[in-house]
Chains A and B, each alone.
Chain A
């Protein structure tokens, strides 16, 4: 794996290395040449650009990817921003990224979808990376279902939505009044809108501004007088003005309400816009920015507690994948070994027992005996190859073993098996 992330590079550098769409497709075509790099997937998000590749020589692959990334970014030498890892470390890194353990917000679920899209839409996927990404996604799913790493709200707007949902359940069709057009207020209302709220009323001192923001939020602009009319009837109120002091008092609020009904007031302004006494009224749930931050803080603490358990799950799955991957390296050698053994045995058998009328039952017994003999003879060498796959850097050795074991079959066809072997 070669890449950069929010840990190693600032946003202005990460933007340069971003790869997507046609630019990504042509980049992968250039990089995957079947010689040095046989497979490659690029994960490119706002927080990271990471290339996962499989090739013959780790150092050569790393060097090639770094050069290709720098060229695409237009940066002569991005060494200070990039990092690389290989083998089991690279596997573990991908598994941690997919599970949200390497994200800015611990446990964030979006990265799982980003990894899936990168793997599904990238053109350089082969059998190795296919299995790697499938395993990473499965591990991420397991981490999220068995730990609480993704639970709870980790931002003020998300906490606001969470509190509103605890009162109302579904927010579909609920009415919202947002007073003030500040950034946080707009973000909060956007979050609420994504939950399917019904009508949104936007109030501001300046009606033009209310109309402008209303267009952005698909809301209805209201005047300052309209605030008091709506205050008593809407389900959710978001207060985000820059008033110097609380102007929504308990007395005024009581007057504005026709009859008590559940109302959630999210007072995210500093100084507060709503008097604390309003929260004592029947059916009113009043939360200020401190309350929302407390919800966020508790959620983050809970996630941090889950981190260790999540890491243990990820490391276990990564180790399991790595074991499989190493075993795969020995497959050609084992296949060649068995193929040669089978060919030899059948050739010698045919010479010893020429074709002619045979007893079918005896034939079957002899066939089973041949197979058993082959398995016994090859058990030791097969096991040795498997043990060899567990040694680091054994890929070249395994290739040489496969080549050594596979002379052309006609060389063996004319010789006899000599007892004890010849010199």
Chain B
């Protein structure tokens, strides 16, 4: 009950914060940024408290099962945005990042925040490092994808001379490109650590690195898709705006893969 209450409070805070973002985007509230940032920060604290309450109640971290893992992924995304929003130019990204946070957290509350029975088998530091790194990696890559989407929108607004809300509220192309690059590098870095930790975990517990497992397949596919996008950027093959477009292609590929795996894989109950 306490876990749900804390997470529901966080959810409400995120929702109101998003509405303030929306008002700021439409130019109706110049003071929106500090208000929504404070509210978002407070909501993140409630979110953290809810996850901590889960851990203390069930004596296992909220990392396995759709509900707990979604809540933790939402938290990782929220923390990533909070870290980035210290730079005022990153603040408008909340307009696109908050909806996934709200959806993930809402879904976790609705499906139930209880650990999946076999979760008791997943213990140990390696497992925690593996899952947390992977979730942080996904959060970073999601942020990079949002920055890329904003880049494409701002680029089009500038190219087509549409001087509306996007032109006014979004940061410069240079800033968005930089955000995309930093998010990709840090997200991919965290995902790499997570995959290596996962591999070590399976070796340690003698399970073997089964590529057929949905979470392994998805993790590797994400790594490859975004890795290609980053490599093309680094080698100069794709400069912005192409770099932004490649990031969005990688995001689309991962989103499609997620849907297919979640729908058709026989072992999907362990997959986020």
Q: Cβ of B205 < 8 Å from any Cβ of A?
A: no
Segment from A121-129, A294-302, A327-335, A395-403 that makes contact with B: A294-302
Cβ proximity bits A277-310 to B, threshold 8 Å, 1 near / 0 not: 0010000010100010011001000100000000
B161 is contacted by which of A145, A169, A262, A287 (Cβ under 8 Å)? A287
Minimal Cβ-Cβ distance residue in A for B30: A148
Query: Is A294's CB under 8 angstroms from B30's CB?
Result: no
Contacts A166-B173, A169-B174 given; indicate if A146 touches B163 (C-beta within 8 A).
no
Residues on B with beta carbons closer than 8 Å to the beta carbon of A145:
30-31
CA distance A63 to B167 in the complex (A): 52
Interface residues of B (CB under 8 A from A): 27, 30-31, 89, 154, 158-159, 161, 163, 167-168, 171-175
Q: Which of A150-182 contact B (CB under 8 A)?
A: 151-152, 163, 165-170
B174 is contacted by which of A148, A168, A287 (Cβ under 8 Å)? A168
Minimal Cβ-Cβ distance residue in A for B170: A166
Query: Is B158's CB under 8 angstroms from A166's CB?
Result: yes
CB of B51, distance to nearest CB on chain A (Å): 35
Main secondary structure of the interface of A (DSSP, over half): helix
Query: Is A294's CB under 8 angstroms from B171's CB?
Result: no
Main secondary structure of the interface of B (DSSP, over half): helix
B163 is contacted by which of A147, A167, A285, A294 (Cβ under 8 Å)? A294
CA distance A295 to B173 in the complex (A): 18
Query: Is B167's CB under 8 angstroms from A166's CB?
Result: yes
CB of B76, distance to nearest CB on chain A (Å): 28
Interface residues of A (CB under 8 A from B): 145-148, 151-152, 163, 165-170, 262, 279, 285, 287, 291, 294-295, 298, 302
Query: Is A165's CB under 8 angstroms from B158's CB?
Result: no
Minimal Cβ-Cβ distance residue in B for A297: B163
CA distance A81 to B161 in the complex (A): 44
Can you offer 17 A-B residue contacts whose CB atoms are under 8 A?
Answer: A145-B30, A145-B31, A146-B31, A147-B30, A148-B27, A151-B27, A166-B154, A166-B173, A168-B173, A168-B174, A169-B89, A169-B171, A169-B175, A170-B174, A291-B163, A295-B163, A298-B163
Query: Is A167's CB under 8 angstroms from B30's CB?
Result: no
Contacts A166-B154, A167-B158, A295-B163 given; indicate if A262 touches B30 (C-beta within 8 A).
no
CB of A193, distance to nearest CB on chain B (Å): 19
